[in-house]
């Protein structure tokens, strides 16, 4: 006889099958807590995967946290527990009380919860995302036709809680998602950024983790407001033509008692083998990428942010730690794969599955790898044994660049190749050049205080460095505060030192970065052939004695090309001659010697005509007075 027909929100045989196969890409619509109508009753349907639990009940504000009031029914074969609680309301707090086979009772937050209690509380909250009012249809339509390889991307990396704060308030003074949306939109549009990348959005218990130790993967943190406030922020940024990227952490999770660790009294989300399932350096647990339900949890989570919250991309944290079984481990602390090697074969398959599904379902969305090794084909096609990411952070460039910039100019001639080497592999992946939060914490100094010299020399050095970065092949990312030369290292405990903009040298730095960003956005030569050798050409990559770099960025139709000249010493070159490809006029479009950037303000010609005079191996050239630490950009 046929069984009772299940309601659409209930967990059925097909849900069990797809989840067990790792292919239930919208499982977040079934697991977790969802407001529903059952007959004439409204309430909340709860569902949780706890395969090795002896029993599970729901406890919360709706039943006075009574462990016996709302037992859940176990569904086979996967061990998904469900129950309907009439009268439960949106916003009410709850947890799952899990009875383990060892006889313990443990209280866990909902892994699929859409909202959480503000820390230090650890409960989940019922949330209804069904009635969010989106008005960003045009943005999403345009995104589906957008090709990141041919479009500008200048990313402003931001930590909401410390970008700006309401000072003098008794509470922590955090901006809400809505307040932040309005302020950040004005700022990034003025500065010329195309995207913001938000740190620490998924719910996390400890501020000092910056959001990289997550307990609520499906919940935007309650520090700044509700899920609907978060959606309002995304919608507002999109309406103002600003893209949104989130940091996403599938590499590990914390041991907090209410989180995923030993969820049902056994290793549920993590590898059971501690040599595979624990990060000794970080004190965290590692996801079991060989378990279909865990892979499903992570893939559906990535899709959740992009499809439910309209996020434009995910920057995937700590990819290298997932790819290598011995990452951060000593001999004897890790288990080799079946071939005796150190590659995590399950994580490799996970990435291929993840990126194929996310990007296949969402044209124009981005998956960005923070991968710090020379792993091949990170942005290569899955069909050609690549990992399938859209873009990769260029950590090699970042390391070489910062090491060079820290040098006394006297010694830079001996390290000249540190600035040129990245072009030898620039097209092996689709790269983003990054100066991220990681470069301005843990006693690494702020960007301005990495620079050699005193006073004005520091600012001139950094301006030259930023110009080189903006001209170099690759997308761009700057962490907040770097654009106006924040003096102190970043701390999540305070807002940026905006008061520095009362001082001239910090305003001049901000002016310089703003004009570089707008130069980048309005010139196709700077981005449309970022993934092709035809887009970048060295004029002179070998002028080590003078520590001067000159190069050309080409547009596709060659109508508007840009010539960059960057001087990395305090020595002025009265009659610097640069070789050029054609007998043309060269228009000065960016000059670091202008007074608004802290230069001398001396007037100089805006147009330079090349003459037949061999230089840099080219038949034509022109001369230009290149200041100490000077940067000049010419259009031709």
- Which residue shows structure tokens 């989180």? 259
Asked if residues 97 and 57 have their Cβ atoms less than 8 Å apart, the reply is: yes
Which pair of tokens denotes residue 384? Answer: 């050609």
Rounded to an integer, the average pLDDT of 269-297 is: 96
Write out the E strands in 329-440.
366-369, 391-393, 431-435
Question: 364: alpha, beta or left, given left = phi > 0 and alpha = psi -120 to 50?
Answer: left
Which pair of tokens denotes residue 241? Answer: 């033509």
Asked if residues 601 and 594 have their Cβ atoms less than 8 Å apart, the reply is: yes
Q: How far is CA 454 from the centre of its chain?
A: 33
Rounded to an integer, the average pLDDT of 529-536 is: 92
Supply the pLDDT for residue 262. 97
* Residues with catalytic roles: 317, 370
Supply the pLDDT for residue 557. 85
CA dist 231 to 135, 195, 318, 434, 442, Å?
11, 16, 26, 27, 33
Q: What's the first-to-final CA gap in the chain, in angstroms? A: 80
Asked if residues 542 and 536 have their Cβ atoms less than 8 Å apart, the reply is: no
The region of weakest confidence among 169-173, 391-395, 515-519, 583-587 is 169-173
Supply the pLDDT for residue 4. 58
Examine the pLDDT at 531 and tell me if it is beyond 90.
no
The DSSP 8-state label assigned to residue 342 in this structure reads: S
Q: Which residue ranges make up each domain of the chain?
A: 13-108, 254-371+381-390, 533-635
Examine the pLDDT at 3 and tell me if it is beyond 60.
no
CATH code for residues 533-635: 2.60.40.1180
* Fold match between domain 13-108 and domain 533-635: yes
How do residues 16-36 score in pLDDT, each as one tens digit? 999 999 999 999 999 999 999
Which pair of tokens denotes residue 604? Answer: 């100089």
Examine the pLDDT at 342 and tell me if it is beyond 50.
yes
How do residues 34-45 score in pLDDT, each as one tens digit? 999 888 899 999
Rounded to an integer, the average pLDDT of 557-573 is: 94
Supply the pLDDT for residue 39. 81
Residue 620 parent element (H or E): strand 618-626
How do residues 497-509 score in pLDDT, each as one tens digit? 999 999 999 999 9
DSSP β-ladder status, 585-591 and 631-635 = antiparallel
CATH code for residues 13-108: 2.60.40.10
386 confidence band (pLDDT: 50, 70, 90): very high
Which pair of tokens denotes residue 627? Answer: 């200041």
Q: pTM for the complete prediction?
A: 0.95
Supply the pLDDT for residue 2. 45
Rounded to an integer, the average pLDDT of 198-202 is: 97
């Amino acid at each position: 006889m046929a069984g009772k027909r299940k309601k659409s929100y209930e967990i059925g045989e097909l849900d069990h099958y797809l989840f067990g196969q790792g292919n239930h890409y919208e499982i977040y619509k079934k697991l977790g807590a969802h407001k529903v109508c059952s007959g004439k009753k409204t309430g909340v349907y709860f569902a949780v995967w706890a395969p090795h639990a002896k029993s599970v009940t729901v406890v919360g504000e709706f039943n006075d946290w009574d462990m016996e009031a709302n037992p859940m029914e176990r569904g086979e074969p996967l061990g998904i527990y469900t129950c309907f609680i009439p009268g439960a309301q949106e916003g009410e707090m709850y947890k799952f009380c899990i009875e383990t086979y060892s006889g313990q009772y443990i209280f866990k937050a909902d892994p699929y919860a859409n909202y959480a209690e503000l820390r230090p509380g650890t409960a989940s909250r019922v949330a209804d995302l069904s009635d969010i009012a989106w008005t960003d249809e045009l943005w999403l339509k345009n995104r589906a036709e957008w090709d990141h390889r041919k479009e500008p991307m200048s990313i402003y990396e931001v930590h909401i809680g410390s970008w700006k704060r309401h000072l003098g308030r008794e509470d922590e003074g955090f901006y809400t998602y809505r307040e932040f949306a309005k302020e950040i939109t004005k700022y990034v549009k003025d500065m010329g950024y195309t995207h913001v990348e938000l740190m620490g959005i998924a719910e996390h218990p400890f501020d000092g983790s910056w959001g990289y130790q997550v307990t609520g993967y499906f919940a935007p943190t309650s520090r700044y407001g509700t899920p609907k406030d978060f959606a309002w922020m995304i919608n507002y940024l999109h309406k103002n033509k600003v893209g949104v990227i989130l940091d996403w952490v599938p590499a590990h999770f914390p041991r907090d008692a209410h989180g995923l660790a030993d969820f049902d009294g056994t290793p549920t989300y993590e590898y059971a083998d501690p040599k595979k399932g624990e990060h000794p350096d970080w004190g965290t647990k590692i996801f079991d990428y060989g378990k279909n339900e865990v892979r499903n949890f992570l893939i559906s989570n990535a899709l959740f942010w992009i499809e439910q919250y309209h996020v434009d991309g995910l920057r995937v944290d700590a990819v290298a730690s997932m790819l290598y079984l011995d990452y951060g481990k000593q001999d004897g602390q890790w288990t080799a794969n079946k071939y005796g090697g150190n590659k995590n074969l399950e994580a490799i398959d996970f990435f291929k599955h993840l990126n194929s599904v996310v990007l296949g379902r969402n044209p124009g969305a981005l998956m960005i790898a923070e991968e710090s090794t020379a792993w091949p084909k990170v942005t290569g096609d899955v069909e050609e044994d690549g990992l399938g990411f859209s873009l990769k952070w260029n950590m090699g460039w970042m390391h070489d660049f910062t090491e060079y910039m820290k040098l006394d100019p006297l010694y830079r001639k001996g390290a000249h190749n540190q600035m040129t080497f990245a072009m030898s592999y620039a097209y092996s992946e689709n790269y983003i050049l990054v100066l991220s939060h990681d470069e301005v914490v843990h006693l690494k100094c702020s960007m301005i205080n990495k620079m050699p010299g005193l006073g004005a020399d520091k600012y001139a050095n950094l301006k030259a460095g930023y110009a080189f970065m903006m001209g170099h092949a690759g997308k761009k990312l700057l962490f907040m505060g770097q654009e106006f030369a924040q003096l102190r290292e970043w701390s999540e405990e305070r807002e940026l030192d905006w008061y520095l903009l009362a001082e001239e040298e910090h305003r001049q730095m901000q002016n310089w970065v703003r004009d570089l960003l707008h130069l980048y956005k309005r010139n196709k030569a700077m981005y449309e052939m970022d993934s092709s050798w035809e887009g970048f050409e060295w004029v002179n990559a070998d002028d080590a004695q003078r520590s001067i770099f000159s190069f050309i960025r080409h547009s596709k139709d060659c109508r508007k090309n840009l010539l960059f000249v960057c001087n990395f010493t305090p020595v002025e070159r009265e009659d610097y001659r640069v070789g050029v490809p054609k007998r043309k006029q060269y228009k000065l479009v960016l000059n670091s010697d202008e007074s608004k950037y802290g230069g001398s303000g001396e007037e100089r010609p805006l147009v330079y005509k090349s003459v037949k005079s061999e230089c840099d191996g080219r038949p034509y050239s022109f001369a230009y007075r290149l200041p100490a630490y000077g940067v000049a950009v010419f259009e031709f």
